[in-house]
C-alpha cells in the first residue's frame, strides 16, 4: 500500500544511467587507445558507441526528471537527486566531447606524453567505478554504510587531486617543450577536455555527499 | 434550533483551521493526497468526538451559567474571533476563544467560575510545555527505533509516509475528542443537547470545515512545519496527538496548535535552532492574551446588540 513504484523506478533508472555512463566512458577510452595505436577505423567505431551510450543516458535522465516531477522521493532530497542525475549525464556528455575531439580534431600527441594521458584516463575510470559503487550503495543498500560512503567520496576527491597534479606537471612539460605554439595550445585544450571528466566525477560525489547529509536530517 | 448555527459556524472554522496541524505536513510534501487527508481527518475527528468528546463537555459548562441565547452568542463570538484572527494571520485557538467568550458571559451575569478558569489556564500553560517534552522524548525514542529504516533510500519514504498517516489519524482523533467541547459544550450546559448528541453535532461541524475549507491553510501551515524535515514534522504531529489526548483525559480542551508549536520548539532546541523557538514562543504568548481578549470583547458587544447586558 505504502511502497512507492515511482521511487523504485527512479532507483532502477539511476542504476541503468550509471551503467550507460560507465560504458560511455569505457568506449571513449577505447577511442583514445585506438587513436594512439593509429587505428582510426576502430576509433570511429568506438566513437559511434560513445554517442549511442550518451543518447541512452540522456533519455534515462529525462525519464528520471519526469518521475521526480511527479513526486518521487521527499522534496528535501528531490532537488539533490535531480542535480546528481544532471551531473551524471554531463559526465557522459564530457566523455562524448572528448571522443569527438579525438576523431574530429585528431590532435598530434608526441609519444612522450601518451603514457601520462593514458594514466589520467585509467585513473578517471577507476575514480568513476568508486563513485558508481557509492551511488549504488546510496540507492540500494538496506542500510547505508555512512562511513564507507564517506570513504568513497574521499577517495574520489583524492583521485581528482592526483589527476590535477599530473595535469599541472604535463602542462609544464608541454609548454617547456620545443613544440610549435599552436600544438602546445591544442594539446593543452585536449588535456583540459580529458581532466574535466575527473572534475565532473568529483562534482557528482559532492552531490552524493549533500544527499548523505539530508538523509541524516 | 437556530441557536445551533453559531456552534456549527465555530466548528466549521475550527475544522478549516486545525486540519493543517495534523495532515499539513503530509499534504505539503505529497506524502498524502489532499482528498485522502481530509477524508481521513473527517472520519477520525467524528470518531474522536463521539468516543472521547464527552470527557471535556462538563468543564466548559462549569465556567459560567448559560441560557440558550447566551450559548448562541458565546459560540458566535468564539467563531468570529477564530475567523477574524485567522484572516489577519494571527495565532488563534478555539479553546481560548470559547473560554474568553464564556468568561465575558460569566462576568456579566455574575456566574463566572474562577477556580475552573485557573484549572483551564494552567492547562493552557502546560500544553506547549507538554508538547515540548513529548516532542523531545518522541524525537529521541523514535529515532533510535526507526533509524535503521530511515537510513535507507529504499525504506525512508514508505516508512515516513506510513508514520505521517498514522500520526495524522491519531492527531485527528485527538483533535475531535479534545476540541468538540469547544464547539458544542455550551449546548450541553443549557440542556439543549445530550452529551452524546453534542459530541456528534460538534464532530460533524468540525469535519465539514475540514472537508470544505481547509486546503489553503493546510498547504501554508504544512510547508511551514515541513521547514524542519519530514521526520521532525511527523514527531511534532505525534506529540500534538498525544498531548491533546492526555488533556482530554483530564477533561480540559486545549490548543492543538500550541501543542504542536511546543513540540517544534523542543525539536528546535535539540537541533540548536533557537531563533525558531523564540519566534514561536512569542506567537503562543500573543495567542494566550489576544484570543480570549478578542473573544470576550466580541461576546460583550454581541450581548449588547442582543440587549442581553
The list of chain A residues with pLDDT below 70 reads 1-3, 217
From B218, A198, A87, select the one nearest A79 (Cα to Cα): A87
B273 contacts in A (CB within 8 Å)? Answer: none
For residue B36, what pLDDT band results from cuts at 50, 70 and 90?
A: very high
Residue B274, pLDDT > 70, answer: no
CB count within 10 Å of CB A82 equals 17
Average pLDDT, chain B: 90
DSSP B154-168: TTHHHHHHHHHHHHH
- B89 part of contact set with chain A, CB < 8 Å: no
Which has more pLDDT, B302 or B226?
B302
Which has more pLDDT, B285 or B46?
B46
**Ramachandran region of residue A106, left (φ > 0), alpha (ψ -120 to 50) or beta?**
left
For residue B167, what pLDDT band results from cuts at 50, 70 and 90?
A: very high
CB-nearest partner of B152 from A71, A144, A216: A144
Residue A107 phi, psi (nearest 5): -65, 145
- B150 part of contact set with chain A, CB < 8 Å: yes
A2 contacts in B (CB within 8 Å)? Answer: 158, 161-162, 165
Residues A87-108 pLDDT 10s: 999 999 999 999 999 999 999 9
Residue B12, pLDDT > 90, answer: yes
- B152 part of contact set with chain A, CB < 8 Å: yes
Location of C-alpha cell 496548535: B257
**Ramachandran region of residue B307, left (φ > 0), alpha (ψ -120 to 50) or beta?**
left
- Identify the pLDDT of residue A182: 97
Report the run of H or E that residue B265 belongs to, with start and end: helix B256-270
Question: Cα(B243)–Cα(B263) distance, rounded to whole angstroms?
Answer: 10
- Identify the pLDDT of residue B88: 77
Residue B184 phi, psi (nearest 5): -125, 5
Residues B205-214 pLDDT 10s: 999 999 998 8
B270 contacts in A (CB within 8 Å)? Answer: none
**Which of A187-191, B14-18, B155-159 is predicted most confidently?**
A187-191
- Identify the pLDDT of residue B285: 77
Which has more pLDDT, B135 or B148?
B135
Residues contacting A90, CB < 8 A, separation 6+: A200, A203
CB-nearest partner of A142 from B30, B152, B158: B152
Chain B residue with minimum CA distance to A215: B151
Residue B283, pLDDT > 80, answer: no
CB-nearest partner of A144 from B29, B31, B151: B151
Alpha carbon distances (Å) from A165 to A7, A171, B192, B201: 40, 10, 87, 77
CB-nearest partner of B153 from A2, A138, A146: A138
For residue B225, what pLDDT band results from cuts at 50, 70 and 90?
A: low
Residues contacting A183, CB < 8 A, separation 6+: A108
- ipTM > 0.90? no
- A2 part of contact set with chain B, CB < 8 Å: yes
- Identify the pLDDT of residue B216: 81
- Identify the pLDDT of residue B29: 74
Contact B285, B96 (CB under 8 A): no
- Identify the pLDDT of residue B239: 97
3-state SS string over chain A? Answer: CCCCHHHHHHHHHHHHHHHHHHHHHHHHHHHHHHHHCCCHHHHHHHHHHHHHHHHHHHHHHHHHHHHHHCCCCCHHHHHHHHHHHHHHHHHHHHHHHHHHHHHHHCCCCCHHHHHHHHHHHHHHHHHHHHHHHHHHHHHHCCCCCHHHHHHHHHHHHHHHHHHHHHHHHHHHHHHHCCCCHHHHHHHHHHHHHHHHHHHHHHHHHHHHHHHHHHHHC
- Identify the pLDDT of residue B306: 85
CB count within 10 Å of CB A100 equals 16
Amino acid at each position: 500500500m505504502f511502497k512507492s513504484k515511482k521511487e523504485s523506478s527512479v532507483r532502477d533508472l539511476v542504476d541503468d544511467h550509471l551503467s550507460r555512463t560507465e560504458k560511455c566512458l569505457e568506449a571513449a577510452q577505447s577511442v583514445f587507445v585506438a587513436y594512439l595505436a593509429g587505428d582510426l577505423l576502430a576509433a570511429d567505431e568506438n566513437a559511434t558507441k560513445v554517442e549511442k551510450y550518451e543518447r541512452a543516458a540522456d533519455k534515462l535522465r529525462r525519464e528520471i526528471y519526469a518521475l521526480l516531477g511527479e513526486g518521487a522521493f521527499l522534496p528535501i532530497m528531490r532537488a539533490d537527486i535531480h542535480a546528481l542525475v544532471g551531473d551524471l549525464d554531463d559526465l557522459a556528455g564530457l566523455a562524448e566531447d572528448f571522443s569527438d575531439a579525438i576523431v574530429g580534431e585528431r590532435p598530434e600527441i608526441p609519444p612522450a606524453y601518451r603514457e601520462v594521458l593514458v594514466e589520467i584516463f585509467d585513473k578517471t575510470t577507476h575514480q568513476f567505478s568508486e563513485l558508481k559503487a557509492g551511488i549504488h550503495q546510496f540507492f540500494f543498500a538496506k542500510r547505508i554504510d555512512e562511513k564507507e560512503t564517506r570513504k568513497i567520496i574521499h577517495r574520489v576527491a583524492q583521485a581528482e587531486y592526483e589527476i590535477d597534479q599530473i595535469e599541472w606537471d604535463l602542462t609544464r612539460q608541454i609548454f617547456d617543450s620545443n613544440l610549435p605554439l599552436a600544438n602546445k595550445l591544442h594539446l593543452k585544450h585536449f588535456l583540459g577536455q580529458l581532466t574535466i571528466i575527473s572534475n565532473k566525477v568529483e562534482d557528482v560525489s559532492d552531490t552524493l555527499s549533500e544527499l548523505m547529509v539530508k538523509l541524516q536530517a | 434550533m437556530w441557536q445551533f448555527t453559531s456552534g456549527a459556524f465555530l466548528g466549521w472554522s475550527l475544522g478549516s483551521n486545525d486540519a493543517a496541524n495534523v495532515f499539513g505536513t503530509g499534504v505539503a510534501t505529497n506524502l498524502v493526497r489532499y482528498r485522502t487527508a481530509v477524508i481521513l481527518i473527517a472520519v477520525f475527528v467524528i470518531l474522536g468526538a463521539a468516543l472521547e468528546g464527552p470527557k471535556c463537555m462538563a468543564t466548559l459548562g462549569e465556567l459560567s451559567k448559560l441560557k440558550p441565547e447566551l450559548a448562541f452568542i458565546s459560540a458566535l463570538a468564539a467563531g468570529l474571533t477564530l475567523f477574524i484572527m485567522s484572516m489577519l494571520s494571527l495565532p488563534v485557538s478555539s479553546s481560548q476563544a470559547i473560554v474568553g467568550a464564556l468568561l465575558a458571559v460569566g462576568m456579566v451575569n455574575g456566574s463566572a467560575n474562577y477556580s475552573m478558569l485557573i484549572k483551564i489556564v494552567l492547562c493552557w500553560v502546560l500544553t506547549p510545555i507538554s508538547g515540548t517534552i513529548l516532542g523531545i522524548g518522541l524525537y529521541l525514542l523514535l529515532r533510535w527505533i526507526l533509524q535503521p529504516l530511515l537510513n535507507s533510500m529504499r525504506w525512508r519514504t514508505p516508512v515516513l509516509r506510513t508514520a505521517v498517516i498514522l500520526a495524522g489519524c491519531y492527531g485527528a482523533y485527538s483533535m475531535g475528542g479534545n476540541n468538540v467541547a469547544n464547539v458544542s459544550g455550551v449546548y450541553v450546559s443549557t440542556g439543549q443537547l445530550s452529551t452524546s448528541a453534542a459530541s456528534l453535532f460538534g464532530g460533524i461541524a468540525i469535519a465539514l470545515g475540514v472537508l470544505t475549507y481547509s486546503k489553503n491553510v493546510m498547504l501554508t501551515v504544512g510547508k511551514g512545519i515541513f521547514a524542519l524535515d519530514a521526520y521532525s514534522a511527523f514527531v511534532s504531529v505525534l506529540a500534538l496527538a498525544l498531548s491533546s489526548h492526555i488533556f482530554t483525559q483530564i477533561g480540559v480542551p486545549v490548543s492543538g496548535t500550541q501543542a504542536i508549536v511546543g513540540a517544534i520548539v523542543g525539536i528546535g532546541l535539540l537541533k540548536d535552532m533557537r531563533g525558531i523557538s523564540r519566534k514561536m514562543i512569542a506567537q503562543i504568548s500573543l495567542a494566550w492574551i489576544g484570543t480570549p481578549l478578542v473573544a470576550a470583547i466580541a461576546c460583550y458587544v454581541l450581548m449588547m446588540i442582543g440587549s442581553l447586558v
